[in-house]
Amino acid sequence: MIKLTDVSFFFGGRDILRHAELLIRDNDRIGLVGPNGAGKSTLFKLLVKEQTPTSGSITTDRKDAVIGYLRQDTGEMKGGSVLEETVAGAGRVSEIGRRLAELEEKMGSIEDPITDAEMDEYGYLQNEFLAHDGYNLESNARAILTGLGFPLERQEESVENFSGGWKMRIAIARLLLLKPDILLMDEPTNHLDLESILFLERWLSSFEGALVMTCHDREFMTRVCRTTVELSHGNLTLYSGDYDFYLREREIRRREQIATYERQQAMLAKEEEFIARFQARASHANLVQSRIKNIEKIERVERPLEEKAMSIEFRPCPRSGDQVAVLENLGVSYGNYNVFSGATVTLRRLEKVALTGINGAGKSTLLKVIAGSLSQTEGSCTVGSGVRSGYFSQYSSDLLNPSNTIFEEAQERLPELDRGELMSALGAFLFSGDDVDKKISVLSGGEKSRVVLACILSRPVNFLVLDEPTNHLDIVSREVLLDALKRFDGTVLIVSHDRFFLRSLATRVWELDRGRLSVYEGDYSYYLEKSPHLKELHLM
């Protein structure tokens, strides 16, 4: 359906794509992977013709193909209600609906009666409207919005009342209602809670068009995408399997390429040694020239480049008491609104606890109380002896000083570290050399998260309170963080909607639902099996 032929794209002195070839066919499910900054979003812009290739061509075999594109930013959204904004995204069907309404109004008008030509137009448009299930457009829109977490009463509110994260859900709803022939999605699970992720996963599994998607949620990517395309160092590489297959196959290919490279280097070394030994001998002149020509004809195998990854090591910290935090009838209210109440539980040393619940359930509020940045309105929260906590808020990046460089920000937050220690701490989170002189204002969301994590995890702490630390981190960075938290010789309380992350980490689960805290004495898979309000979603 879309074909890239010998496509190259250069930007800012960097090769984003080099002689790339790719075919996106009907019904393909492609997961686009690669490190942050590799150019995945740029590739999407090339596919929708917002950017023009430096060379090569991008063609479609159907001129009427509808392409839906979900960006990482929602753009301007104002004026209408959530439902109106969603219905307006249905493209041609929405336009037909508006025109039919205009013609129906003229049918009942005496002053401006409908003409014969308009009646013919009405009949034609009505057939097309029926063929595209237009009369169920509003009910389908409501079902999609409900699945993405919008209660019916909030679907009538103005879009201006909603945060960027909720506007992203509206953008997703518009695309799902559009039902395009080709769907391009750039990080669709950002800002979604578990229930919404599961709804989107099911919808995409039954989607009949072609899908190309980037996503940092490993389990979501594996469940939805059947093919994987890696963009790295300007090269597009196709893997005919899901993300798990890609990881295995990439390692096999990498080992094979290293072995081929090393064999070729050994052969070249022998040839060059022969040439050096006999170059001065007239009796070997023809043989030497023949060897030189052979070497020049050989296509050189490149050693595969190593991708940089974070490397987290925690600073030693004295152990805490066995009881890290004790909650007794804890509650928080704002005026007449009760966020949660009656929370009673003990957090024990070395536990790795996942705090779950839908968006708006009060998870961030509970973490703030435990971290000491918010006071409860009822009950008590007692932090145990010897506890030294590090708190990552999902809004921590917003507190960075945009006029600071990365190094200046770290220096202000970690005044006890000297320059060498600061450079080492930042280097572990992929900021080295001139990178540390970048201004906070120019960093991506993932880079800002890494700055905050570098500052928090470089302190000697034994209790980590983490609110969505995986947001904006790519899959590789998430798995490095996961490995570090598994090795962490302390206690962790974490909110994340990444199922793979929580399955691999959590030893216990707290769930906030309708203002009450429930405790599941088992890992995350146990919670998914036992939680009453999740059973009908068929998570396992």
C-alpha dihedral, 17 to 18 to 24 to 30, nearest 10°: -60
What integer is the mean pLDDT of 17-44? 90
Look at residue 539 in the predicted model and tell me its pLDDT.
45
pLDDT of 185 higher than 90 = yes
Q: What is the pLDDT of residues 39-98, one digit of tens each?
A: 898 999 999 999 999 999 999 888 888 899 998 777 677 778 999 899 888 888 888 888
540 falls in which pLDDT band (50, 70, 90)? very low
Look at residue 537 in the predicted model and tell me its pLDDT.
52
Look at residue 535 in the predicted model and tell me its pLDDT.
62
Look at residue 239 in the predicted model and tell me its pLDDT.
96
pLDDT of 131 higher than 60 = yes
Beta bridge partners of 343: 330
Q: How far apart are CA 32 and CA 34, in angstroms?
A: 7
Secondary structure class of 60 (helix, strand, coil): strand
Look at residue 423 in the predicted model and tell me its pLDDT.
92
**The dihedral of CA 197, 202, 203, 207: what is its sign?**
positive
Q: How far apart are CA 225 and CA 228, in angstroms?
A: 7
Half-sphere exposure of 22 (CA within 13 A, CB side): 29
Q: What is the pLDDT of residues 398-431, one digit of tens each?
A: 788 999 999 999 999 999 989 998 999 898 888 8
Q: What is the pLDDT of residues 135-160, one digit of tens each?
A: 888 899 999 999 998 989 899 999 88
Lowest mean pLDDT among 11-25, 69-83, 364-378, 514-528: 69-83
pLDDT of 2 higher than 60 = yes
Kindly list the strands in the beta sheet with 378-383, ordered across the sheet, starting from the edge strand earlier in the chain.
337-348, 323-334, 378-383
Asked whether 327 and 381 are in contact (CB, 8 A), the reply is yes
* In the block, residue with structure tokens 């090569």: 56
Query: Percent of the chain at pLDDT above 90?
Result: 51
Phi, psi of 246 (to 5 degrees): -55, -45
Look at residue 200 in the predicted model and tell me its pLDDT.
92
519-528 per-residue burial string, b: 16 or more CB within 10 A, e: under 16: ebeebbeebb
More confident residue, 502 or 98: 502
pLDDT of 538 higher than 80 = no
Asked whether 17 and 232 are in contact (CB, 8 A), the reply is no
pLDDT of 360 higher than 90 = no
Phi, psi of 62 (to 5 degrees): -130, 115
Which of the given ranges, 31-35, 206-210, 312-316, 349-353, has the highest pLDDT on average?
349-353
What integer is the mean pLDDT of 218-239? 93
Compute the chain's Rg from CA coordinates: 28
Asked whether 341 and 352 are in contact (CB, 8 A), the reply is no
Lowest mean pLDDT among 13-17, 346-350, 508-512: 13-17
Cβ neighbours of residue 451 under 8 Å, at least 6 residues apart? 397, 400, 406, 409, 410, 426, 429, 431, 440, 443
More confident residue, 379 or 119: 379
Q: How far apart are CA 183 and CA 203, in angstroms?
A: 12
Look at residue 305 in the predicted model and tell me its pLDDT.
79
Look at residue 508 in the predicted model and tell me its pLDDT.
96
pTM for this entry: 0.81
CA 46 to chain centroid: 20
More confident residue, 102 or 170: 170
Q: What is the mean pLDDT of the chain?
A: 89
Cβ neighbours of residue 165 under 8 Å, at least 6 residues apart? 190, 191, 359
* In the block, residue with structure tokens 């359906």: 1
pLDDT of 105 higher than 80 = yes
Burial tier of 486 (Cβ tally within 10 Å: 0-12, 13-18, 19+): exposed
Lowest mean pLDDT among 7-11, 78-82, 259-263, 368-372: 78-82
Q: What is the pLDDT of residues 242-296, one digit of tens each?
A: 999 999 999 999 999 999 999 999 999 998 888 888 887 777 788 888 888 888 8
Asked whether 17 and 234 are in contact (CB, 8 A), the reply is yes
Kindly list the strands in the beta sheet with 14-24, ordered across the sheet, starting from the edge strand earlier in the chain.
14-24, 2-11, 55-60
536 falls in which pLDDT band (50, 70, 90)? low
Look at residue 57 in the predicted model and tell me its pLDDT.
93
What integer is the mean pLDDT of 361-389? 94
Look at residue 326 in the predicted model and tell me its pLDDT.
97
